[in-house]
Structure 1
């Protein structure tokens, strides 16, 4: 009978073979959804927002974040809503179906409001970096948060500046009929009247218009000291050119964060009326924040000449979601969502803490003007 002897295998090879038969300890993928307009006239906003979220994802991956003993790999799932509410709700449903772990967005109030209902229905936490309509946090959704001051602060702050600092007596109001534009214009108008300013004209346009000659001509006859525009910079740029053409060269043009971009100077195409702009953003100027200038250098190195307004907020929103995951020791939205309400995170834009309704606690507001074609802080 032939003797059977065990085959001897070097220990190293044996361990390697054993490891090959076991499933590798793969990284857990955590997907963060982002939605904004990356097509259409507002694409520069959307790209800037997406850049901020992507920058956060890249830095988180470089950090090697571990939760519940698993090393995480973060991915950004970016969708385009073209600033259109219908496309925005479709994008929201797509992210729900994809079972992403959380959402940063949307850019516009008009897309964020209907999308928030969808996210609430599928249990996805959402932090908006830029939608400022106050209604967003009045809907009662427990996992909806806002990372900057809302229109109540922006519209009222601009009206107070017009009255108390610039000593204006007569103002006109234009809005683009979107949830954002109409909302912030309404707050400005009501505050202006309470302060004692006369609202001499109320005009309306839309977020695709480029010819404002008729409404500006009607406003000119009322001789206002200032015009408030509730809308975005693709409209504000042509409006400034047409104000110059019509001789409205002494009237201020006020606006919220929608017009307060670095691109506005390009869109105004050299119009001298650019120097009459006074606009507001819900947050401190990045050069006034601890680490803000260093963050901007990193952004500019990664995305040259693309900075607009909100990328620091999408960056912070992404970090706040992951901070909540860390504290919950889970990436499951059903588990970590409750931790967002308890956030105490030092971000680039603010010390992030939330009110019970999802609003940012103690939001700051910054005023800007334009000099020599550059946006400058006026606070």
Structure 2
């Protein structure tokens, strides 16, 4: 897209304040998929803030506000808090776009609140298919229509959804030599959804599902009985759909202690964060982790330039979703620019009209369901206490 001066949104003497929301996470994962003060969320939020800070679109001054949907009492995202955040945004006439959510379950709360007032949403991390698509066996019967009651769709996401990631994870399991798999999940929207997709895909690629999808108690003090059950099943790989904050670290420790190193452990992007490695400790070593996209270090072109600048500016590695947060903000600013007026419906429509967008993730478009045309997946192991993204593999779901 050729560079051009941005059009004026209002007369020179006027300004409007644009607040953009990135909810807490992380997961992702998710997710979030992480609590409000987690590295995954703070670095994704940091990427959004960095992009918005230098932005002025025509006569519009862009103001970024970081809202937190986690509560101290819950220690993770909270539906009541997310609803409060959405209503706060809804009732502020200066809010034009809601950048979020990070957690798929939180989006389930906020989409119908914001939809009726034409407030557009762009998520950097939601991967649950049912938010935008009807996929038999993988989403609820009333999804996604239940989230858009008598209103025009307002929700988009820049990350591929889990019917792709779950299928790619099952395919990778087969390529790694697994024959019998046990499927666990944390019972949340994201975790259970991706576990179901994995379990449904497994037989199609020649894997025998010997257990699950089975939900875990995220508050359990140990999982030794469950680990014994997995061992007795004869599984040679365990797939867990869920997020770090739902006790994934303890689950990994007990699975590894009971199953040893011969049984492979795999999880999705809900545990693709340093917090998981910290929680699981040595039990994380050798784990296989999928991600519904490309890790920051593997981005090319404009993405690689962003990656290098991020490291220089913040003196740290960006978490997996930081680039997706940055892209969400770029799309937001581009849509405001194209809408050319302070109007929620016009900006929402401009978001959906995003086509052949040349950003840090590559060149992509939004579909009529609000999904990205990007389908790139990746997988890596935990080696020497870190994610080995240098040797990350490109993954594909079975055709």
- Could you state the TM-score of these two structures normalised by the residue count of structure 2? 0.81
- Could you state the TM-score of these two structures normalised by the residue count of structure 1? 0.85
Q: Is the 8 A contact 1:145 1:358 kept in 2?
A: yes
SS of the aligned residue for 1:367 comes to strand
Q: CA deviation at 1:207?
A: 4.4
SS of the aligned residue for 1:250 comes to coil
Q: Which runs of 5+ in 1 are unaligned?
A: 1-23
CA distance in 2, matches of 1:93, 1:136: 19
Q: Is the 8 A contact 2:34 2:41 kept in 1?
A: no
Match in the other structure for 2:273: 261
Q: CA deviation at 1:375?
A: 0.8
Match in the other structure for 1:299: 310
The number of aligned residues is 347
CA distance in 1, matches of 2:352, 2:219: 37
Mapping 1:64-143, distance limit 5 Å: 64-66=56-58, 70=59, 72-82=60-70, 83-99=77-93, 100-138=95-133, 139-140=144-145, 141=148, 142-143=153-154
Match in the other structure for 1:199: 209
SS of the aligned residue for 1:34 comes to coil
RMSD: 2.3
SS of the aligned residue for 1:35 comes to coil
Are 2:371 and 1:359 aligned?
A: yes
Match in the other structure for 2:347: 336
CA distance in 2, matches of 1:41, 1:217: 29
Q: Is the 8 A contact 1:220 1:248 kept in 2?
A: no
Are 2:221 and 1:227 aligned?
A: no
Match in the other structure for 2:46: 51
CA distance in 2, matches of 1:292, 1:73: 26
SS of the aligned residue for 2:168 comes to helix
Q: Which runs of 5+ in 2 are unaligned?
A: 1-11, 27-31, 71-76, 134-143, 394-399
Q: CA deviation at 1:291?
A: 3.1
CA distance in 2, matches of 1:220, 1:331: 59
Given the alignment, which residue of 168, 172, 186 partners 1:176?
186
Match in the other structure for 2:16: 28
CA distance in 1, matches of 2:254, 2:34: 19
CA 338–49 in structure 1, closer or farther in 2 if over 3 Å, else same:
same
Q: CA deviation at 1:87?
A: 2.0
CA distance in 2, matches of 1:41, 1:148: 17
